[in-house]
Structure 1
Amino acid sequence: MAFVVFEAFQQLFYAENFNNGVPMDVTFSEVLKGGMLRWGLWLATSVGLVYYVRKFPVKSGYELVRKLLAYGGLLLLVLLLDIALAALVNMPADEKSWSVFTELFQFYFFHKAPIVFVFLVVVILLVHFFQYKSEIEVYIQELGDLKNTNSKLYKQMKTTERNVMDTAKVIQVRVGNRSQIVPLEHIVWIEADDYCVKIHDQQGKAYTLRNSLKSLEEKLPSDYFQRIHRRSIVNLKFIERIEWGPSASVTMQNGLELPLAQSRIKSVKEAMN
């Protein structure tokens, strides 16, 4: 509407200063009415263009040239139709002749064709924008649903993995060029060692495993193994005695005494019970 109002003032300016074919006694309201009528007709004729573009949008770079040619041909037809309608609605009532129509057609073609062309191109771009905007919103919603589904599956897999570790009674440790199978029931305690852990068995042997103590704790069956300190996990069945005082400690059956963190006393008591 702002553009149509501006165009009406422009027409009056041209009429008063350059006498471009508009009667000198024309009023602003008449010019505005004519502009609104023309743009209303052009909007109406663009409906077919909108329908075609929505039905046959550009979906890939491979079909870009072919679609642009089709859009260009349809755009040219709509443009010529718009100019012809502009000439028809502005023909004087007492001069209905082909020569007058031709003259008005030429005038509006050179005067309005660039603006109408840009208008129709913007229509094509807007149709693509809103169509793909809707598709992208649906796609984002689907991605959100997929993320939620994958999160649930991930949790199920972690639970399954832990259950498998609970039922699997061994840990596989790489020793040189071979793999050593260490039964869980033979493990006395596990010690944190920088970025690795040391697994101590009941025969006094120690095996190094490249894993964190926290990660290994999550995989071990909690009814057998308990974290008693930030640096150690023990097998409950190998505990000889537990001191619950301020200097809490756990003594294993092989005589090894390990510190018991105050923050771990409650969970160890529950496990023992």
Structure 2
Amino acid sequence: MYLLNYIKTHKRILILIVSVLLLTITFETSQQLYYIKRFNLGGDATFFILLKNQAFRWFVWVVLSAVIFYYIQSTKIKKDLTFTHVLKYASLILGLVILNVVIISINQMLTYDDTFTISNLTNEYLPFFMFQKAPMYTLGYIAITIIMHLYFANEQLQIKVQDLSELKLTNARLYTQLKDRVDDRTSVLNIKIGNKRKIIPVNEVLWIEADDYCVKVHTVDKNCYTMRSSLKALLPKLDTNFLRVHRKAIANMTMIKELSMSNTPNLILNDNTEIPVSKSHLKTVKDFLSDH
């Protein structure tokens, strides 16, 4: 299945490989024919006879290269080659090269009707083809091993990227579903006082006053705490009962006793503190009071 998918998605690369292979076969055939003619080795060898022999030898090489493909495909590939990987690949390549040489040596003996003996095979044919074909076969298998290793390593990386992408989409969907249900507003204010921290429940806050780059938090127990923040940054963290009523004030609307409309609008808190209400925020304050 992997082999078929690889062929479909890498047609251009495979066409290039096949072209190089055909050129190699043609070159080796021409080279062999040249030596036969040049050194008068005799025989009735022709270009097409030699071409057939060379094609068979490289066909065997191609068929056995599938072993490399399936071995790498079934192995857990990592991007970085370890010494163990290199050792296993080297052993596999060496074994395939020897198997190639044995097969084409036996085929050569049978083709020329030579006497088939172990002595003849090991003393004549195996050494000849080992020197003639082993270097090219080895280089070819090394190239295929590197290509296959990189291909499957990249494939596993793509799978991990896809998994992470799907996880991201899942988390985004969950966030969209839950963001309206989850109230991420703070229930306390954490205020640093010297080397200590004061935790103030927001339901004990009367109002918050802007003071340069800080704010003053006024509480029901008549205390006032300075907090390094701004009204704009603080408001989204507070409960919806807190309203911006002035450019310098946020009021806890649950602590409001009344809205005074004399001269200038003011909110009167339960402790009789008066907080000015700007014209731009007056409608918001009225709407809130009318709804509650």
- Measured on the aligned residues, the alpha-carbon RMSD in Å equals 4.0
* Aligned equivalent of 2:164: 143
Q: TM-score, normalised by structure 1?
A: 0.71
Aligned-partner residue type, residue 57 of structure 2? R
The alpha-carbon distance between structure 1 residues 127 and 95, as it changes in their structure 2 partners (threshold 3 A), is same
Instruction: Give the C-alpha shift of residue 114 in structure 1.
Output: 2.0
Once residues 181 and 111 of structure 2 are traced to their aligned partners in structure 1, the CA distance between those partners, rounded to angstroms, is 85
Once residues 242 and 43 of structure 1 are traced to their aligned partners in structure 2, the CA distance between those partners, rounded to angstroms, is 94
Choose the corresponding residue for 2:146, options 125, 134, 143: 125
Q: Does 2:267 align with 1:252?
A: yes
Q: TM-score, normalised by structure 2?
A: 0.67
The alpha-carbon distance between structure 1 residues 217 and 45, as it changes in their structure 2 partners (threshold 3 A), is same
Once residues 51 and 141 of structure 2 are traced to their aligned partners in structure 1, the CA distance between those partners, rounded to angstroms, is 21
Instruction: Give the C-alpha shift of residue 70 in structure 1.
Output: 3.3
SS in 1 for 2:251: strand
* Aligned equivalent of 1:52: 71
The alpha-carbon distance between structure 1 residues 78 and 22, as it changes in their structure 2 partners (threshold 3 A), is farther
Choose the corresponding residue for 2:105, options 84, 87, 91: 87
Instruction: Give the C-alpha shift of residue 80 in structure 1.
Output: 0.9
Q: Any conservation in 2 of the 1:162–1:218 contact (CA below 8 Å)?
A: no
Once residues 215 and 247 of structure 2 are traced to their aligned partners in structure 1, the CA distance between those partners, rounded to angstroms, is 12
Choose the corresponding residue for 1:218, options 205, 218, 236: 236
SS in 1 for 2:215: strand
The alpha-carbon distance between structure 1 residues 22 and 73, as it changes in their structure 2 partners (threshold 3 A), is farther
Once residues 174 and 154 of structure 1 are traced to their aligned partners in structure 2, the CA distance between those partners, rounded to angstroms, is 34
Once residues 22 and 231 of structure 1 are traced to their aligned partners in structure 2, the CA distance between those partners, rounded to angstroms, is 109
Once residues 154 and 35 of structure 2 are traced to their aligned partners in structure 1, the CA distance between those partners, rounded to angstroms, is 46
* Aligned equivalent of 2:184: 162
Aligned-partner residue type, residue 259 of structure 1? S
Q: After TM superposition, list the pairs within 5 Å mapping 1:226-237 onto structure 2.
A: 226-228=243-245, 232-236=249-253, 237=255
* Aligned equivalent of 2:26: 9
Once residues 183 and 66 of structure 1 are traced to their aligned partners in structure 2, the CA distance between those partners, rounded to angstroms, is 62
Q: Deviations over 1:16-75 (max 9, x none)?
A: 543386968523x544443332222112223334333444445598x9334433332232
Instruction: Give the C-alpha shift of residue 143 in structure 1.
Output: 1.8
Aligned-partner residue type, residue 184 of structure 2? R
Once residues 138 and 159 of structure 2 are traced to their aligned partners in structure 1, the CA distance between those partners, rounded to angstroms, is 32
* Aligned equivalent of 2:3: none
Once residues 230 and 201 of structure 2 are traced to their aligned partners in structure 1, the CA distance between those partners, rounded to angstroms, is 19
* Aligned equivalent of 2:58: 39
Q: Could you list the runs of 5+ residues in structure 1 that have no partner in the other structure? A: 244-248
Instruction: Give the C-alpha shift of residue 208 in structure 1.
Output: 1.6
SS in 1 for 2:288: helix
SS in 1 for 2:259: strand
The alpha-carbon distance between structure 1 residues 127 and 77, as it changes in their structure 2 partners (threshold 3 A), is same
Q: Does 2:87 align with 1:69?
A: yes
* Aligned equivalent of 2:215: 197
Choose the corresponding residue for 1:26, options 37, 46, 52: 46
Instruction: Give the C-alpha shift of residue 82 in structure 1.
Output: 0.8
Instruction: Give the C-alpha shift of residue 125 in structure 1.
Output: 2.9
